[in-house]
Chain A
Amino acid sequence: MKIRTKLLLSYLLIVGLFVAAGATITYNTMQVANLQNTVKQQVEINNNAYAYQQGLDQKQFGTLMYSSDNTTEGERIIVRSAEIMEPAKVYLLSALANSPDLLSKFNGVVAIDSNQINNAITQVYAIYTSNASDTDKYVQIWGQLTLLMNSVSLADAQLAEVREATLANVQNATVESQNYANFSLLLAVIFIAVIGVTSGILAFVMGKRITDPLRKLADIAHKVSLGDLNQRYYLKQKIDIKTGDEIDELVDAFKRMINAFRMTEALAKEEQETIKP
């Protein structure tokens, strides 16, 4: 294998490790981002459930005020409560579509509001504006207010369950997000260690495999340059330079060069002896 191929493979190994580390950490980061979106959505659901709860309480309070002769203020509060509850209801029906249990609970709350609470308010209004005696009105209104307060309490309890569920979801998502973050940190440390160790080993091994034969060859070249032509045998017998790359070709060329020196020297000696008188 050529030196360039060896270096390229080493480079690709390191790049592969970096890519694996990057892909894993990116995946974890995406998971954390998804969990953050989940947390955001659950918080939004919680806020809307709270708004709906507040709306119900205001509706109850407005009805109490209405029945206590503060009709204008009572009506204003009831209208205001509807303005708060309507957007919260639209949002919750859409957002809870993927959570059948919570959607079922909220639908229960909406049913209580539509049937029992609104009915009680209508009854209070009808009784208040009727021509019945004050005593009768008081008794009947009190009965409806009792129904209203019980219904609001029931709806509050169900909304509280929805809110608790969202808080639990937020808590789970936060824990999961923290786990992903910890896992990413652990992976980063492991990958840094693996990449560091692998790079170090590769640099050491590759460096040694390239420089050791070259150092030996340089040593022989030095001796040959000083006239020691027996280095050919030294190359052949004492040094086992077999790297399977360009260094082998360099050794072959070096052997050929020393052979040429020796043969040229032998031919020159022979010629000199022939010329001698």
Chain B
Amino acid sequence: MTLEEDCLAVLARDLGPAARGFLDRQCRNHLKKEPSALQKTDLEELAKWCAIGIQLVLGAQVAENAKKGILALK
């Protein structure tokens, strides 16, 4: 599995089919790169922005879950 697919799997646990669109958005807007170009070094930044984005829409607990999941991929 690629890192993109791993991140998608983590996000899909809480976001289901919306995980793909959300990951694309966070990568392009905040990391300035395509999800397919994700590197392990990007994970910390990605986890931070995913947590911020999810907290705004779904709340702190879901955000914390997603952040932990992404950081675990390091």
Contact = CB atoms under 8 A, between A and B. Distances in A.
Contacts, number: 42
Contact of B18 (A236, A255, A263, A270): A263
Nearest to A253: B16
Given A256-B13, A267-B25, A233 B18 contact: no
B18 A267 contact: yes
How would you classify the secondary structure of chain B's contact residues: helix, strand, loop or mixed?
A: helix
B16 A260 contact: yes
Nearest to A262: B57
B58 A232 contact: yes
A260 B15 contact: yes
A266 B21 CA distance: 11
A43 B62 CA distance: 86
Interface string A248-267: 00000001110111111011
Q: Which interface class (under 10, 10 to 19, 20 to 34, 35 or more) fits B?
A: 10 to 19
Contact of A259 (B16, B21, B56): B16
A44 to B, nearest CB: 83
Contacts of B58: 232, 259, 262-263
Interface in A222-269: 232-233, 236, 255-257, 259-264, 266-267
Interface of B: 12-19, 21-22, 25, 54, 56-59, 61-62
Given A259-B58, A267-B21, 16 more contacts: A233-B59, A256-B12, A256-B15, A256-B16, A259-B16, A259-B18, A260-B16, A260-B18, A260-B19, A261-B18, A262-B57, A262-B58, A263-B54, A263-B58, A264-B17, A266-B56
25 contacts: A232-B58, A236-B61, A256-B14, A256-B16, A259-B15, A259-B16, A259-B58, A259-B62, A260-B16, A260-B19, A261-B18, A262-B58, A263-B15, A263-B22, A263-B57, A263-B58, A264-B17, A264-B18, A264-B21, A266-B56, A266-B57, A267-B21, A267-B22, A267-B25, A270-B25
